[in-house]
Amino acid sequence: MIDINKNFTQLSEDYLFRNIALKVAKFREENPNKKIIKMGIGDVSLPITKNIVKSFHKAIDDMSKKETFKGYGNEQGYDFLRENIKKYYQNRNVILDIDEIFISDGAKSDLGNILDIFDNNINVTISNPVYPAYVDANIINGNKINFINGDISNNFLPTLDDKCKESLVYICSPNNPTGAVYDKDSLKNIVDFANRNNCIIIFDSAYEIFIEDQNLPHSIFEIDGAKNCAIEICSFSKSAGFTGVRCGYTIIPKEVKLNKISLNKLWFRRQSTKFNGVSYITQVGANEFFSEASQKEIVNIVKYYKRNSKLIFDTLTKLNILCYGGVNSPYVWLKTPNKESSWEYFDLLLEGLGIVGTPGVGFGKNGEGYFRLTGFSSYEDTILAMNKFEEFYKK
Protein backbone atom coordinates (compact mmCIF):
# COMPACT_ATOMS: atom_id res chain seq x y z
CA MET A 1 0.00 0.00 0.00
CA ILE A 2 1.19 3.49 -0.76
CA ASP A 3 -0.24 6.72 0.61
CA ILE A 4 0.77 10.33 1.04
CA ASN A 5 2.10 11.72 4.31
CA LYS A 6 -1.28 12.82 5.66
CA ASN A 7 0.39 15.37 7.92
CA PHE A 8 0.59 17.62 4.86
CA THR A 9 -3.19 18.03 5.10
CA GLN A 10 -2.66 19.62 8.53
CA LEU A 11 -0.61 22.50 7.10
CA SER A 12 -2.43 25.78 6.95
CA GLU A 13 -2.46 27.66 3.66
CA ASP A 14 0.82 29.57 3.22
CA TYR A 15 -0.95 32.78 2.27
CA LEU A 16 1.18 35.49 3.92
CA PHE A 17 3.57 36.48 1.12
CA ARG A 18 1.12 35.50 -1.63
CA ASN A 19 -1.53 37.78 -0.10
CA ILE A 20 0.99 40.60 0.19
CA ALA A 21 1.99 40.16 -3.48
CA LEU A 22 -1.68 40.16 -4.57
CA LYS A 23 -2.48 43.31 -2.62
CA VAL A 24 0.63 45.10 -3.93
CA ALA A 25 -0.16 44.08 -7.53
CA LYS A 26 -3.72 45.42 -7.19
CA PHE A 27 -2.47 48.70 -5.69
CA ARG A 28 0.09 49.06 -8.51
CA GLU A 29 -2.58 48.52 -11.14
CA GLU A 30 -4.86 51.10 -9.57
CA ASN A 31 -2.04 53.60 -8.87
CA PRO A 32 0.45 53.17 -11.72
CA ASN A 33 2.30 56.41 -10.94
CA LYS A 34 2.69 55.96 -7.18
CA LYS A 35 6.05 54.82 -5.80
CA ILE A 36 5.90 51.69 -3.66
CA ILE A 37 8.54 51.36 -0.94
CA LYS A 38 9.26 47.75 -0.04
CA MET A 39 10.11 47.35 3.62
CA GLY A 40 8.68 43.90 4.15
CA ILE A 41 11.22 41.58 2.65
CA GLY A 42 13.56 39.49 4.77
CA ASP A 43 15.95 39.18 1.84
CA VAL A 44 19.20 41.12 1.57
CA SER A 45 19.47 43.75 -1.17
CA LEU A 46 23.19 44.55 -1.49
CA PRO A 47 25.33 42.45 -3.84
CA ILE A 48 28.00 40.00 -2.71
CA THR A 49 31.26 41.71 -1.77
CA LYS A 50 34.18 41.99 -4.22
CA ASN A 51 36.52 39.61 -2.42
CA ILE A 52 33.93 36.84 -2.18
CA VAL A 53 33.06 37.26 -5.87
CA LYS A 54 36.78 37.04 -6.72
CA SER A 55 37.03 33.79 -4.78
CA PHE A 56 34.02 32.37 -6.70
CA HIS A 57 35.87 33.14 -9.95
CA LYS A 58 39.01 31.46 -8.66
CA ALA A 59 37.02 28.37 -7.64
CA ILE A 60 35.46 28.17 -11.10
CA ASP A 61 38.97 28.33 -12.59
CA ASP A 62 39.95 25.45 -10.27
CA MET A 63 37.11 23.43 -11.75
CA SER A 64 38.39 24.07 -15.27
CA LYS A 65 41.82 22.49 -14.72
CA LYS A 66 42.56 18.82 -14.39
CA GLU A 67 44.99 19.37 -11.47
CA THR A 68 42.54 21.37 -9.35
CA PHE A 69 39.18 19.97 -10.47
CA LYS A 70 36.91 18.86 -7.61
CA GLY A 71 34.28 16.15 -7.81
CA TYR A 72 32.24 14.93 -4.85
CA GLY A 73 33.46 16.45 -1.60
CA ASN A 74 32.88 15.43 2.00
CA GLU A 75 29.17 15.49 2.83
CA GLN A 76 30.09 17.46 5.97
CA GLY A 77 31.96 20.11 3.97
CA TYR A 78 35.56 20.97 3.14
CA ASP A 79 37.98 21.14 6.05
CA PHE A 80 39.25 24.59 4.97
CA LEU A 81 35.80 26.07 5.62
CA ARG A 82 35.16 24.09 8.80
CA GLU A 83 38.54 25.20 10.18
CA ASN A 84 37.61 28.84 9.64
CA ILE A 85 34.20 28.38 11.30
CA LYS A 86 36.03 26.75 14.20
CA LYS A 87 38.27 29.86 14.50
CA TYR A 88 35.24 32.19 14.26
CA TYR A 89 33.80 30.43 17.32
CA GLN A 90 37.16 30.32 19.06
CA ASN A 91 37.16 34.14 18.97
CA ARG A 92 34.15 33.93 21.30
CA ASN A 93 35.84 31.31 23.47
CA VAL A 94 33.76 28.50 22.03
CA ILE A 95 36.00 25.54 21.34
CA LEU A 96 34.72 23.18 18.67
CA ASP A 97 36.12 20.16 16.90
CA ILE A 98 35.70 20.36 13.11
CA ASP A 99 33.79 17.06 13.24
CA GLU A 100 31.10 18.98 15.11
CA ILE A 101 30.60 21.38 12.16
CA PHE A 102 28.48 20.33 9.16
CA ILE A 103 28.29 22.63 6.12
CA SER A 104 24.76 22.94 4.71
CA ASP A 105 22.95 24.59 1.84
CA GLY A 106 21.40 27.08 4.27
CA ALA A 107 19.69 27.20 7.62
CA LYS A 108 16.14 26.53 6.42
CA SER A 109 16.99 23.07 5.09
CA ASP A 110 18.67 21.93 8.29
CA LEU A 111 16.04 23.47 10.59
CA GLY A 112 13.60 21.01 9.02
CA ASN A 113 15.95 18.15 8.07
CA ILE A 114 17.26 17.86 11.62
CA LEU A 115 13.92 16.24 12.51
CA ASP A 116 15.12 13.11 10.67
CA ILE A 117 17.25 12.20 13.69
CA PHE A 118 14.30 12.40 16.11
CA ASP A 119 11.30 10.14 16.41
CA ASN A 120 8.00 11.20 14.82
CA ASN A 121 5.20 12.47 17.11
CA ILE A 122 7.62 14.04 19.58
CA ASN A 123 6.84 17.10 21.70
CA VAL A 124 8.17 20.34 20.29
CA THR A 125 8.33 23.80 21.85
CA ILE A 126 8.21 26.79 19.52
CA SER A 127 8.07 30.46 20.43
CA ASN A 128 5.27 32.57 19.03
CA PRO A 129 5.74 34.79 17.06
CA VAL A 130 8.63 33.30 15.11
CA TYR A 131 10.00 32.35 11.67
CA PRO A 132 7.17 30.12 10.34
CA ALA A 133 9.34 27.34 8.83
CA TYR A 134 9.80 25.60 12.22
CA VAL A 135 6.07 25.09 12.63
CA ASP A 136 5.42 23.63 9.19
CA ALA A 137 8.45 21.30 9.31
CA ASN A 138 7.18 19.90 12.60
CA ILE A 139 3.60 19.52 11.37
CA ILE A 140 4.92 17.49 8.41
CA ASN A 141 6.60 15.14 10.92
CA GLY A 142 3.42 14.83 12.95
CA ASN A 143 4.99 16.40 16.03
CA LYS A 144 2.96 17.90 18.88
CA ILE A 145 3.66 21.63 19.06
CA ASN A 146 3.47 23.59 22.28
CA PHE A 147 3.78 27.34 21.68
CA ILE A 148 5.51 29.56 24.22
CA ASN A 149 4.22 33.09 24.12
CA GLY A 150 6.30 36.13 23.36
CA ASP A 151 4.54 39.38 24.19
CA ILE A 152 5.03 42.77 25.81
CA SER A 153 5.22 41.21 29.28
CA ASN A 154 8.43 39.32 28.43
CA ASN A 155 9.77 41.65 25.70
CA PHE A 156 9.07 38.88 23.18
CA LEU A 157 11.55 36.58 24.89
CA PRO A 158 9.48 33.61 26.11
CA THR A 159 10.78 31.29 28.81
CA LEU A 160 10.29 27.55 29.33
CA ASP A 161 7.78 26.08 31.75
CA ASP A 162 6.63 22.61 32.85
CA LYS A 163 4.80 22.01 29.55
CA CYS A 164 8.16 22.19 27.76
CA LYS A 165 9.70 19.21 29.56
CA GLU A 166 11.07 16.41 27.34
CA SER A 167 10.70 18.42 24.13
CA LEU A 168 12.67 19.71 21.19
CA VAL A 169 12.92 23.45 21.81
CA TYR A 170 13.39 25.91 18.93
CA ILE A 171 14.99 29.21 19.94
CA CYS A 172 15.65 32.01 17.44
CA SER A 173 17.95 34.79 18.68
CA PRO A 174 18.09 37.48 17.32
CA ASN A 175 14.50 36.70 16.61
CA ASN A 176 12.75 36.99 13.30
CA PRO A 177 10.34 38.90 13.33
CA THR A 178 10.67 40.72 16.68
CA GLY A 179 14.41 41.49 16.72
CA ALA A 180 14.50 40.40 20.39
CA VAL A 181 17.79 38.86 21.60
CA TYR A 182 18.22 36.59 24.64
CA ASP A 183 20.91 37.75 27.06
CA LYS A 184 23.32 35.30 28.67
CA ASP A 185 21.29 34.92 31.88
CA SER A 186 18.03 34.10 30.12
CA LEU A 187 19.77 31.68 27.76
CA LYS A 188 21.44 30.08 30.78
CA ASN A 189 17.99 29.50 32.28
CA ILE A 190 16.86 27.83 29.06
CA VAL A 191 20.00 25.67 28.89
CA ASP A 192 19.68 24.65 32.56
CA PHE A 193 16.01 23.80 32.05
CA ALA A 194 16.90 21.70 28.99
CA ASN A 195 19.60 19.79 30.85
CA ARG A 196 17.32 19.16 33.84
CA ASN A 197 14.31 18.12 31.77
CA ASN A 198 15.67 16.07 28.89
CA CYS A 199 15.15 18.72 26.21
CA ILE A 200 17.21 19.34 23.09
CA ILE A 201 17.51 22.96 21.94
CA ILE A 202 17.67 23.91 18.26
CA PHE A 203 19.27 27.35 18.33
CA ASP A 204 18.79 29.39 15.14
CA SER A 205 21.50 32.04 15.01
CA ALA A 206 20.93 33.16 11.41
CA TYR A 207 21.07 36.83 12.46
CA GLU A 208 24.00 36.67 14.92
CA ILE A 209 26.11 39.06 12.79
CA PHE A 210 23.67 41.88 13.62
CA ILE A 211 24.39 41.75 17.36
CA GLU A 212 26.36 44.83 18.41
CA ASP A 213 25.88 44.75 22.18
CA GLN A 214 29.11 43.18 23.48
CA ASN A 215 27.28 41.45 26.33
CA LEU A 216 24.80 39.53 24.19
CA PRO A 217 25.64 35.97 23.12
CA HIS A 218 26.04 35.23 19.39
CA SER A 219 26.10 31.47 19.96
CA ILE A 220 24.31 29.26 22.47
CA PHE A 221 27.65 27.55 23.06
CA GLU A 222 28.81 30.68 24.90
CA ILE A 223 26.56 29.38 27.69
CA ASP A 224 27.85 26.78 30.16
CA GLY A 225 26.11 23.45 29.74
CA ALA A 226 24.85 24.13 26.19
CA LYS A 227 27.19 21.56 24.68
CA ASN A 228 25.17 18.87 26.46
CA CYS A 229 21.80 19.88 25.07
CA ALA A 230 22.01 22.18 22.03
CA ILE A 231 22.35 22.13 18.28
CA GLU A 232 23.13 25.44 16.56
CA ILE A 233 22.06 26.25 13.02
CA CYS A 234 23.53 29.25 11.25
CA SER A 235 23.69 30.72 7.77
CA PHE A 236 25.78 32.85 5.42
CA SER A 237 22.54 34.25 3.95
CA LYS A 238 22.22 37.43 5.94
CA SER A 239 25.92 37.88 6.77
CA ALA A 240 27.55 37.28 3.37
CA GLY A 241 24.47 37.97 1.23
CA PHE A 242 24.18 34.27 0.29
CA THR A 243 20.37 34.08 0.17
CA GLY A 244 20.68 33.14 -3.51
CA VAL A 245 24.00 31.26 -3.25
CA ARG A 246 22.90 28.92 -0.42
CA CYS A 247 25.33 28.02 2.36
CA GLY A 248 25.10 27.61 6.12
CA TYR A 249 26.32 25.32 8.86
CA THR A 250 25.01 23.20 11.69
CA ILE A 251 26.95 22.52 14.87
CA ILE A 252 26.27 19.38 16.88
CA PRO A 253 28.68 18.90 19.80
CA LYS A 254 29.74 15.33 20.43
CA GLU A 255 28.41 15.57 23.99
CA VAL A 256 24.75 16.04 22.94
CA LYS A 257 23.03 12.74 23.50
CA LEU A 258 19.51 11.42 23.69
CA ASN A 259 19.04 8.07 25.43
CA LYS A 260 22.85 7.79 25.47
CA ILE A 261 23.04 8.04 21.66
CA SER A 262 25.21 10.75 20.10
CA LEU A 263 23.19 13.12 17.93
CA ASN A 264 26.39 14.10 16.12
CA LYS A 265 26.78 10.50 14.93
CA LEU A 266 23.15 10.28 13.85
CA TRP A 267 23.38 13.56 11.90
CA PHE A 268 26.62 12.39 10.26
CA ARG A 269 24.80 9.24 9.17
CA ARG A 270 21.77 11.20 8.00
CA GLN A 271 23.88 13.60 5.94
CA SER A 272 25.98 10.80 4.42
CA THR A 273 22.75 9.13 3.33
CA LYS A 274 20.61 12.02 2.10
CA PHE A 275 23.02 14.86 1.27
CA ASN A 276 25.95 15.13 -1.12
CA GLY A 277 27.49 18.31 0.19
CA VAL A 278 27.54 21.94 -0.88
CA SER A 279 29.32 22.88 -4.12
CA TYR A 280 33.07 23.54 -3.95
CA ILE A 281 32.54 26.98 -5.53
CA THR A 282 30.03 27.97 -2.85
CA GLN A 283 32.26 26.75 -0.03
CA VAL A 284 35.27 28.65 -1.40
CA GLY A 285 33.11 31.78 -1.43
CA ALA A 286 31.85 31.13 2.11
CA ASN A 287 35.44 30.58 3.23
CA GLU A 288 36.47 33.96 1.86
CA PHE A 289 33.88 35.53 4.22
CA PHE A 290 36.36 34.90 7.07
CA SER A 291 39.38 36.69 5.52
CA GLU A 292 40.42 40.00 7.06
CA ALA A 293 39.67 41.90 3.84
CA SER A 294 36.17 40.39 3.55
CA GLN A 295 35.34 40.95 7.20
CA LYS A 296 35.97 44.68 6.62
CA GLU A 297 33.59 44.66 3.65
CA ILE A 298 30.97 42.70 5.60
CA VAL A 299 31.12 45.10 8.55
CA ASN A 300 30.17 47.92 6.17
CA ILE A 301 27.24 45.99 4.74
CA VAL A 302 25.87 45.13 8.17
CA LYS A 303 26.32 48.79 9.19
CA TYR A 304 24.35 49.86 6.11
CA TYR A 305 21.34 47.67 7.01
CA LYS A 306 21.54 48.64 10.66
CA ARG A 307 21.61 52.36 9.87
CA ASN A 308 18.26 51.71 8.16
CA SER A 309 16.75 49.72 11.03
CA LYS A 310 17.96 52.28 13.57
CA LEU A 311 16.41 55.07 11.52
CA ILE A 312 13.10 53.19 11.47
CA PHE A 313 13.28 52.47 15.21
CA ASP A 314 14.17 56.07 16.13
CA THR A 315 11.53 57.62 13.88
CA LEU A 316 8.75 55.37 15.18
CA THR A 317 9.81 55.92 18.78
CA LYS A 318 9.74 59.69 18.22
CA LEU A 319 6.19 59.28 16.91
CA ASN A 320 5.24 57.37 20.08
CA ILE A 321 4.78 54.12 18.19
CA LEU A 322 5.86 51.26 20.44
CA CYS A 323 8.54 49.20 18.76
CA TYR A 324 11.12 46.49 19.42
CA GLY A 325 14.30 45.25 17.76
CA GLY A 326 16.15 47.51 15.34
CA VAL A 327 19.40 47.56 17.31
CA ASN A 328 20.86 44.04 17.34
CA SER A 329 18.73 42.98 14.41
CA PRO A 330 17.68 44.13 10.93
CA TYR A 331 14.02 43.90 12.01
CA VAL A 332 11.79 46.47 13.67
CA TRP A 333 8.65 45.07 15.27
CA LEU A 334 6.00 47.68 15.93
CA LYS A 335 2.70 47.67 17.74
CA THR A 336 0.02 49.11 15.51
CA PRO A 337 -0.62 52.55 17.01
CA ASN A 338 -4.43 52.60 16.96
CA LYS A 339 -5.24 48.97 17.69
CA GLU A 340 -5.42 48.14 13.97
CA SER A 341 -5.16 44.44 13.18
CA SER A 342 -1.95 43.45 11.38
CA TRP A 343 -3.74 43.29 8.01
CA GLU A 344 -5.64 46.56 8.59
CA TYR A 345 -2.29 48.21 9.23
CA PHE A 346 -0.86 46.63 6.09
CA ASP A 347 -3.69 48.20 4.04
CA LEU A 348 -3.31 51.54 5.79
CA LEU A 349 0.43 51.75 5.05
CA LEU A 350 0.09 50.55 1.47
CA GLU A 351 -2.88 52.70 0.53
CA GLY A 352 -1.94 55.74 2.63
CA LEU A 353 1.84 55.85 2.30
CA GLY A 354 2.79 53.38 -0.44
CA ILE A 355 4.83 51.38 2.08
CA VAL A 356 4.85 47.57 2.11
CA GLY A 357 5.64 45.76 5.36
CA THR A 358 4.78 42.35 6.81
CA PRO A 359 1.70 41.75 8.97
CA GLY A 360 2.84 40.37 12.33
CA VAL A 361 0.05 37.79 12.46
CA GLY A 362 1.87 35.94 9.65
CA PHE A 363 4.44 34.88 12.29
CA GLY A 364 1.92 33.39 14.70
CA LYS A 365 -1.16 34.41 16.64
CA ASN A 366 0.83 36.54 19.10
CA GLY A 367 1.88 38.68 16.15
CA GLU A 368 -1.69 39.94 15.70
CA GLY A 369 -1.74 43.72 16.17
CA TYR A 370 1.96 43.96 15.27
CA PHE A 371 3.86 44.68 12.10
CA ARG A 372 7.40 44.02 10.82
CA LEU A 373 9.54 46.52 8.94
CA THR A 374 13.07 45.68 7.81
CA GLY A 375 16.35 47.48 7.35
CA PHE A 376 17.08 45.58 4.13
CA SER A 377 15.80 48.33 1.77
CA SER A 378 18.04 51.07 0.41
CA TYR A 379 18.95 53.98 2.71
CA GLU A 380 17.23 56.41 0.32
CA ASP A 381 13.96 54.43 0.43
CA THR A 382 14.16 54.10 4.21
CA ILE A 383 14.51 57.90 4.57
CA LEU A 384 11.61 58.42 2.18
CA ALA A 385 9.43 55.95 4.09
CA MET A 386 10.24 57.53 7.45
CA ASN A 387 9.45 61.01 6.11
CA LYS A 388 6.07 59.66 5.04
CA PHE A 389 5.49 58.20 8.53
CA GLU A 390 6.36 61.58 10.11
CA GLU A 391 4.05 63.51 7.80
CA PHE A 392 1.20 61.03 8.34
CA TYR A 393 1.37 60.84 12.14
CA LYS A 394 2.05 64.53 12.73
CA LYS A 395 -1.17 65.47 10.92
Q: Which of 84, 167, 237, 358 binds ligand PLP (CB under 6 A)?
A: 237
Among the residue ranges 24-32, 135-143, 235-243, 287-295, the one whose residues contact ligand PLP (CB under 6 A): 235-243
Rg over CA atoms, the chain: 21
CB of 319 to ligand PLP, least distance (A): 27
Element (H, E) at 251: strand 248-251
Q: Binding-site residue total for ligand PLP (CB under 6 A)?
A: 13
Q: Is 218 in the site for ligand PLP (CB under 6 A)?
A: no
Q: Which of 100, 204, 208, 232 binds ligand PLP (CB under 6 A)?
A: 204
Q: Which of 149, 189, 243, 291 binds ligand PLP (CB under 6 A)?
A: 243
Q: Which of 76, 127, 173, 176 binds ligand PLP (CB under 6 A)?
A: 176
Provide CB contacts within 8 A for 103, sequence distance 6+: 76, 77, 78, 81, 82, 247, 248, 249, 277, 278, 283, 286
> How far apart are alpha carbons 391 and 394 in whole angstroms?
5
Task: Determine phi and psi for 345, rounding to 5 degrees.
Answer: -70, -35
Q: Which residues pair with 123 in a beta bridge?
A: 144
> How far apart are alpha carbons 59 and 81 in whole angstroms?
14
Binding mask 134-173 for ligand PLP (x = CB under 6 A): --------------------------------------x-
Q: Which of 78, 89, 102, 131 binds ligand PLP (CB under 6 A)?
A: 131
Report the residue number, 186 or 358, with the smaller CB distance to ligand PLP: 358
Q: Which of 248, 253, 326, 362 binds ligand PLP (CB under 6 A)?
A: 248
> How far apart are alpha carbons 190 and 208 in whole angstroms?
18
Provide CB contacts within 8 A for 334, sequence distance 6+: 316, 321, 322, 323, 324, 370, 371, 372, 373
- State whether residue 244 is helix, strand or coil: coil
Residues lying near ligand PLP in the complex (CB under 6 A) are found at 42, 106-108, 131, 172, 176, 204, 206, 235, 237, 243, 248
